[in-house]
Amino acid sequence: MMVALQPAFVLHRRPYRETSLLVELFTQDYGRVAVVARGIRKARSRSAALLQPFMPLLVSWYGRGELHGLSQVEANGYLRALFGKNLRCGFYLNELLMRLLPKHDPHARLFATYRQTLEDLKGEACEKTLRLFEKKLLMELGYGLPLQEEQRFKDEENYRYNAEQGFLPCSSVTPKSAIPGRSGVFSGKALNALLTENFEDSLCLQEVKKLMRYILATLLGSPLESRSLFERSLEVEE
């Protein structure tokens, strides 16, 4: 099988044998694809310089099975380079996709969302940008939060998240006094903020972050390396 000039981004790359690279791609029409860039480390090459995270690419590959051979790569437009905190956020996005996306499972809408998210990673707004991406990622992969447009929560009430039943009002079993953001309990105000994608309230944004961490932890099983690196970098900056 030969695939020609497929829009793609590099999610991860590592040395493969003596002169090659093993590259994990997120592609528009084929989802996550692993390719071998053979001989690319022998000498400096334009292809090696292009195969970097966060660069929009057009790639061609051949072969069947889990591992394909890269035959061509070229630039596909331009995105503003990421630095500092925004760069760390970009690596967080990539690790999420690496951990949660099955190989060869196409997600064209998610691909477009990913590209737009990279464009939107700017300064303090990156927290809002990440929360929106996490929401859309979960929805696209079928783990979607049980949030419907016609659904509304009572701002003053607390709700417990149940993976099978969604968000349930706190009962006598889960006291209303339970602290939002702990043990799967979240405020109606934060859930409405996520539903409407309005994060002007900083406290709601913090709680939505805890909600996303809570749900993603159940899917990932083990901590994300990028999150640990991010937290350590904040400690250094302080």
Q: What is the 3-state secondary structure (H, E, C) of the chain?
A: CEEEEEEEEEEEEEEECCCEEEEEEEECCCEEEEEEECCCCCCCCHHHHHCCECCCEEEEEECCCCEEEEEEEEECCCCCCCCHHHHHHHHHHHHHHHHHCCECCCCHHHHHHHHHHHHHCCHHHHHHHHHHHHHHHHHHCCCCCCCCCCCCCCCCCEEEEECCCEEEECCCCCCCCCCCCECCEEEHHHHHHHHHCCCCCHHHHHHHHHHHHHHHHHHHCCCCHHHHHHHHHHHHHC
Tell me the CATH number at 169: 1.20.1440.120
Residue 175, domain member (yes or no): yes
According to the model, what pLDDT value does residue 165 have? 78
Higher pLDDT, 44 or 16: 16
Look at residue 172 and tell me whether its pLDDT is greater than 90. no
Domain boundary among 34, 50, 75: 75
User: Quick one: pLDDT band at residue 1, thresholds 50, 70, 90?
Assistant: confident
Number of domains in the chain: 2
Domain boundary among 50, 75, 100: 75
- What range defines the domain where residue 209 resides? 145-238
Give the predicted TM-score (pTM) of the model: 0.88
Domain boundary among 75, 100, 132: 75
Do 71 and 154 share a structural domain?
no
Residue 60, domain member (yes or no): yes
Residue 152, domain member (yes or no): yes
Look at residue 236 and tell me whether its pLDDT is greater than 50. no
What does the pLDDT look like over 175-214, one tens digit per residue? Answer: 545 555 567 899 999 999 998 999 999 999 999 999 999 9
Do 238 and 153 share a structural domain?
yes
